């Protein structure tokens, strides 16, 4: 029997690829600087039995039906974002994913954005490289204190709690809102106070967003919500881009309703508003939440674990539509 053919949409850790090459013929798109456009992805899928996709690859019905012999999709993503799971299920194509292993890395980037935008770190770096040195006691680049301020966490799951732990290290007051309030003893471990969403927005100096993206949380932050925030407050988003109405965020920043924003995710990712790009009080990172070398290697090996399991007829670590799992080869 010929070996299965696997197409990988971007380079992943060589340790993982070496394991995969032991059981399959592997083709890797060598360009890590861009997401494959749809026509190139479809052309590649036509040559593959299994598609190994990354977070920003859009695997829609057109991609899934481009090759009638496509047997599975192994995704290096936790959720089904950008994958038409209903179509895959209808076609009998299992879609594997990775477990939630990005907690600390995402919390790190959230707090990094918080520090960077509050203390003008990115702006200071840019100006210094341009030869601007206003002096260490000048107010030219003076920002806002972080230590001792109030950190408001919208969503208090794994990542929200990890950000809370970092905030406590800075002596911050922790408040949170979540559909499920924690028992008092769990709140006490974070010294966290429960607030309604509206109360949190009015009280927090930093609003860090950590909800899942659902129809109810799309545009969770829009004009009415930004109007509730302090003029000296910042919004941080490392969850999903559409949680923020970007047009409303631009309006709030223009009107100086809030002091700034730190964003790792975007409503129309990878596109971002040109107005946000031009604003000095906005720090933007290209979805770096899991961008840690050690973590990326671990993620790559998990997705390869899933792929090898499918090839060998075993159950993968995690599957989004287990009802269609079957022996593929």
- Catalytic site residue from 203, 246, 267, 269: 269
**Is 195 an annotated catalytic residue?**
no
**Is 240 an annotated catalytic residue?**
yes
| Distance from the first to the final alpha carbon of the chain | 9
Distance CA 231, CA 256 (A): 6
**Is 275 an annotated catalytic residue?**
no
Pair type for strands 5-8 and 234-237: unpaired
Contacts of 216 (CB under 8 A, 6+ apart): none
At 274, is the secondary structure helix, strand, or coil? helix
Q: Of 139, 180, 143, which Cα lies nearest the Cα of 161?
A: 180
- Catalytic site residue from 166, 203, 240, 267: 240
Cβ burial, residue 254 (10 Å; 0-12/13-18/19+): exposed
**How many beta carbons lie within 10 A of that of residue 110, not counting itself?**
28
- Catalytic site residue from 19, 119, 158, 287: 287
Residues taking part in catalysis: 240, 269, 287
């Amino acid at each position: 029997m010929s070996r299965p053919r696997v197409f990988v949409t971007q380079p992943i850790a060589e340790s993982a690829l070496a394991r995969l090459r032991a059981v399959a013929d592997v083709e890797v798109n060598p360009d890590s600087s861009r997401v494959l456009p749809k026509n190139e992805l479809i052309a590649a899928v036509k040559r593959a039995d299994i598609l190994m996709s990354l977070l920003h690859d859009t695997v829609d019905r057109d991609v899934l039906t481009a090759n009638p012999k496509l047997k599975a999709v192994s995704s290096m993503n936790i959720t089904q974002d950008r994958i038409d799971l209903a179509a895959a299920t209808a076609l009998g194509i299992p879609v594997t994913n990775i477990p939630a292993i990005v907690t600390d890395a995402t919390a790190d980037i959230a707090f990094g954005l918080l520090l960077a935008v509050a203390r003008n770190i990115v702006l200071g770096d840019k100006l210094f490289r341009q030869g601007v040195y206003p002096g260490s006691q000048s107010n030219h680049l003076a920002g806002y204190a972080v230590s001792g301020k109030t950190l408001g966490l919208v969503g208090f799951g794994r990542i929200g709690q990890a950000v809370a732990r970092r905030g406590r290290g800075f002596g911050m007051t922790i408040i949170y809102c979540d559909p499920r309030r924690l028992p008092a003893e769990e709140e006490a471990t974070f010294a966290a106070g429960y607030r309604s969403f509206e109360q949190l927005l009015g009280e927090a100096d930093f609003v860090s967003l950590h909800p899942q993206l659902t129809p109810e949380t799309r545009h969770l932050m829009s004009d009415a919500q930004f109007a509730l925030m302090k003029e000296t407050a910042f919004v941080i988003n490392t969850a999903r881009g559409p949680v923020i109405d970007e047009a409303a965020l631009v309006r709030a920043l223009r009107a100086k309703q809030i002091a700034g924003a730190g964003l790792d995710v975007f409503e129309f990712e990878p596109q971002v508003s040109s107005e946000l790009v031009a604003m000095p009080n906005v720090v933007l990172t290209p979805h770096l939440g899991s961008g840690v070398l050690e973590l990326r290697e671990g993620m790559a090996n998990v997705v390869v674990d899933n792929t090898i399991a499918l090839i060998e007829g075993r159950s993968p670590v995690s599957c989004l539509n287990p009802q269609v799992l079957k022996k593929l080869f």
